[in-house]
A and B are shown apart, each in its own frame.
Chain A
Amino acid sequence: MFGIQTQLFEEKDIRFGPIDHETHPEIESKWTHDAEFMRLMEIKPVRPLSAAMVKKQYEAVEKEMEEEKNLFYFTIRAREDDRLIGKALIEYVDWTNGNGFIRLGIGEPESRGKGCGSQAMNMLLRYAFGELNLFRVTAVVPAYNECAIRLVQKFNFVEEVRRRKALHRDGEFWDILGFGLLNAEWQESGSGAG
């Protein structure tokens, strides 16, 4: 279980940090050239972005965090040297009803398959439920993203919505799934893998 002393942004191998406008655009630009990764992260058509375009996106993200106050964006860093390996966010927070959408990705190929995603999910859920006090969170996942489905199932998310054939890629029609987790369910399961 977590306590008030347990660090919100520190995990075993990773930590959450803010955006670094100097060094991150270059790295994230590289991820956007990885179409397989992008198709796991994005439902809209993907395209490669230059470092300058990523920089602009970061500025938009920070502006939204400042003005709308319904977006919480974290960069995922490797603890050993603080290098950027992914991102994790809670977006479209609906404060009246206590809802939010969560999303995360490990952009650095050599950091995948090592439990970084689970650790990031752990921190993201604890932040959503223990700091923002949301009532529930939603994760939207295309049916072909087996890795993400395994991850949310590990954290006891329930499949709630199946938008039939909502995504057309490579000549196939895929369902888009909505997974939900209630704060109460998260607490019951011993607050995730914590």
Chain B
Amino acid sequence: MKDLYRGTLVRLSAADPGELGKNYIIWNRDTELMRLFGTGPARMSSKRASVEYYEKELKDQPPSHFYFSIRALDDDRLLGETDLDVVNWASRDAFVGIGIGSREDWGKGYGTDAMHLVLRFAFTELNLRRLTLNVFEYNPRAIRSYEKCGFQIEGRKRSALLKDGKRWDIIYMGILFEDWMEQK
């Protein structure tokens, strides 16, 4: 049995609302990151509001929601967060989200390594059948990372985003258990 939470560059740890909240207000200043994270408008959040948000998100974590912090193996610093939302247990189908907070840590393989861990957890511990994620057309770095992990593009919601006066697609990517086994 492998250590499910340990990759080659990162490890997954319990998500701590205090720690995540404190870091989120720093990450939150980077509007480029905010525009990669979500479809909603970038907004400022106080430390208190941010900690409360995570507390609410993590309190009584429903059995269908799995939240992790991503930490660097070398110095154990917090790099980002990832979550799995099982939308349908009967069909064993989940949505996954992932983000590396500080731009100094982008493009170093941390996200890809963390996603490998999330996939292993999803397919070998939760016994899911497939995972889906959304990524925005203006985030080619993430798309490349997901493709490296075995995700395939399953379609695009045309012109679903409006940022800086331009329309962008939301890209849907998916990976099936059998896709994942094949690339092992």
Contact = CB atoms under 8 A, between A and B. Distances in A.
Contacts of B39: 94, 96-97, 99
Given A167-B91, A168-B91, A96 B40 contact: yes
Contacts of A161: 154-157, 172
Given A136-B158, A158-B158, A168-B129, A178 B172 contact: yes
B162 interface: yes
Nearest to A161: B155
Majority secondary structure, B binding face: strand
Interface string B86-124: 011011110000000000000000000000000000000
Contact of B162 (A45, A96, A138, A165): A96
A130 interface: no
B9 interface: no
Contact of B130 (A96, A162, A165): A165
Interface in B41-73: 41
B133 to A, nearest CB: 11
A44 B157 CA distance: 22
A43 B129 CA distance: 16
B156 A99 contact: no
Given A96-B40, A165-B176, 19 more contacts: A44-B87, A45-B88, A94-B39, A97-B160, A97-B161, A98-B162, A99-B160, A135-B159, A136-B157, A138-B157, A160-B158, A163-B93, A163-B154, A168-B90, A168-B91, A168-B92, A168-B129, A178-B172, A180-B158
B17 interface: no
A160 B155 contact: yes
Interface of A: 43-45, 94, 96-99, 135-136, 138, 158-169, 178, 180, 182
B154 A162 contact: yes
B91 A182 contact: no
A166 B132 contact: yes
B174 interface: yes
The 9 closest A-B pairs by CB, nearest first: A161-B155, A168-B91, A45-B90, A161-B172, A160-B155, A97-B162, A166-B93, A96-B41, A167-B91
Contact of A164 (B40, B159, B176): B176
A155 to B, nearest CB: 16
A40 to B, nearest CB: 16
Contacts of B158: 136, 158, 160, 180, 182
A165 B176 CA distance: 8
